[in-house]
Amino acid sequence: MRVGDIAIGGDEFIVMAGPCAVESEQQLLDTAISVVRAGARILRGGAYKPRSSPYSFQGLGVEGLKILSKARQHTGLAIVTEVMSETDVEVVAEYADIMQVGARSMENFSLLERLGTCGRPVLLKRGMTATLEDLLRSAQFVVACGNPDVILCERGIRTFETATRNTFDVAAVPVLKTVSHLPVIVDPSHAAGVRALVPILARAALVVGSDGLLVEVHPQPDNAASDGDQSLTLEQFDTMMRDLDPYLGLRQASDKSCVAAGGIN
Ligand code: PEP
Ligand code: MN
């Protein structure tokens, strides 16, 4: 799948990085300049934020989209950002290169149908209680409505374990890559919930054949408006990227073995 000059689901391991939420021009530009230097190809940042409390920061909306577009101009990074509602699809598609559907919206079927005609690739996150079949059925809504460009994202599921925010379902990657032709990426940040675990989950994702990552990075995580605990600092992101280098060869090897393994069940 192509996004500008970027091929997702091909030979290159594509890293998407940036803050959970767009907070200011300075915050986003500082992050963008740093992540592009470290090797990221796509900038993430939410302008519309699904929050579990109505009293939490809800995102900057259109102002956030404009800041994302400035960062693209400045760095050449493509933009991925969340769209929460059918009524926002048009405006988000005006600014974004990839439309993110959050875990909480994976079963918003009218949103998925509308994304079938949005003219942009869709990054579909697995719902926190969704099976892989549920995820694939949601992807089919987008595809059946006319948009073949869907990227699947494993971001951890709810289990009885409380040591991590969610449980990274590592088998989801080879299973999805075996039963579907769609690119599969992993979001280690929402799986971990704490920044110390993000690099090692990222490494695990890479070696099981993920096509890329979606990682939260913030210039000052302790002051972040959302998800600061799981956001890497700019330096930590740079280190994580360097540490992934030796594993890139293993990713290719694992891709071949997972295709050879055949279907599920
Ligand atoms: C996010 O990417 O910031 C986000 C809200 O993720 P999820 O939908 O996976 O919870
Ligand atoms: Mn987040």
Per-residue model confidence as pLDDT tens digits over 140-171: 999 999 999 999 999 999 999 999 999 999 99
CATH of the domain at 154: 3.20.20.70
Q: Which ligand is nearest to the CA of 227?
A: 2
Tell me what the mean pLDDT of segment 176-201 comes to. 98
Q: What digits encode the pLDDT tens for the residues 78-93?
A: 999 999 999 999 999 9
Among 151, 177, 155, smallest CA distance to 166 is for 155
| Collapsed DSSP state (helix, strand, coil) of residue 94 | helix
Q: In Å, how far are 113, 150, 177, 183 from 10, measured between CA atoms?
A: 27, 14, 12, 8
Task: Examine the pLDDT at 262 and tell me if it is beyond 60.
Answer: no
Domain residues for the domain of 12 are 2-264
Query: Does the beta carbon of 218 sit less than 6 angstroms from any atom of ligand 1?
Result: no
What is the position in ligand 1's atom list of the atom closest to the CA of 155? Answer: 9
Does residue 132 have its Cβ closer than 6 Å to ligand 1?
no
pTM of the model: 0.96
Mean pLDDT calculated for residue range 239-264: 74
**CA separation (Å) from 17 to 7, 170, 186?**
16, 20, 12
**Confidence (pLDDT) at 254:** 56
Residue 261 scores a pLDDT above 90: no
CA of 172 to the centre of ligand 1 (A): 17
Question: How far apart, in Å, are the Cα atoms of 151 and each of 14, 42, 160, 206?
Answer: 12, 14, 28, 16
Q: Which atom of ligand 1 is nearest to the CA of 214?
A: 2
Question: Percent of the chain having pLDDT more than 70?
Answer: 95
Whether residue 103 has its Cβ less than 6 Å from ligand 1: yes
Rounded-to-integer distance, Cα 15 and Cα 261, Å: 26
Q: What amino acid occupies position 233?
A: T
Q: Which ligand is nearest to the CA of 221?
A: 2
Average pLDDT over residues 58-80: 98
| Closest ligand to Cα 49 | 1
Residue 204 has what pLDDT?
A: 97
Give the count of alpha carbons within 13 A of 259, CB side only.
Answer: 8
* Confidence (pLDDT) at 245: 95
More confident residue, 52 or 202: 202
Q: Which of 83, 187, 198 to mutate to test the pocket of ligand 1 (most atoms within 8 A of CB)?
A: 187
d(CA 137, CA 239): 37
Number of other residues whose CB lies within 10 A of the CB of residue 127 = 21
- The number of domains in the chain is 1
Q: Is the pLDDT assigned to residue 44 strictly greater than 90?
A: yes
Is-contact 20 224, C-beta < 8 A? yes
Mutation choice for ligand 1 from 83, 125, 138, CB with most ligand atoms inside 8 A = 125
Query: What is the C-alpha separation between 190 and 106, in angstroms, rounded?
Result: 15
In which band, very low, low, confident or very high, does the pLDDT at 251 lie, cut at 50, 70 and 90?
A: confident
Average pLDDT over residues 102-121: 98
Instruction: Note the pLDDT of residue 252.
Output: 65
pLDDT interval class at 176 (50, 70, 90): very high
